[in-house]
Amino acid sequence: MKPKKTEQLNIRLDDDLRKILAEIEEENGLNPSVIIRGLLKGAASFFEENGYFALPAYVVPKHVVARGDAQATQQGATPTRQKNARA
């Protein structure tokens, strides 16, 4: 049984970021709350494992981690946003 979610965190987003979250939801079926909760879980796990957290944070795709390239990304690779072919 999953723990009940009782805490709430309100955040403000600019219009562009909200539009991107809507695109992610449309493409992947992930509700923005699920996306944000997943990102926060990742940040919390990183902090617990490493004892620190710093911004900017980078999201590394699973296929990159599987190849072993995550370390290069963490050491300063520039984050990019790739549009899908339909955009």
24 or 84, which is more confident: 24
pTM of the model: 0.66
Tell me the pLDDT tens digit for each residue of 60-85: 887 777 776 656 555 544 444 444 43
Q: What is the mean pLDDT of the chain?
A: 80
Reference 36, options 48, 21, 50, 46; nearest CA is 21
Measured CA angle at 81 (ends 56, 26), to 5 deg: 110
Q: Which phi and psi (to 5°) does residue 46 adopt?
A: -60, -45
22 or 74, which is more confident: 22
CB count in 10 Å sphere of residue 80: 5
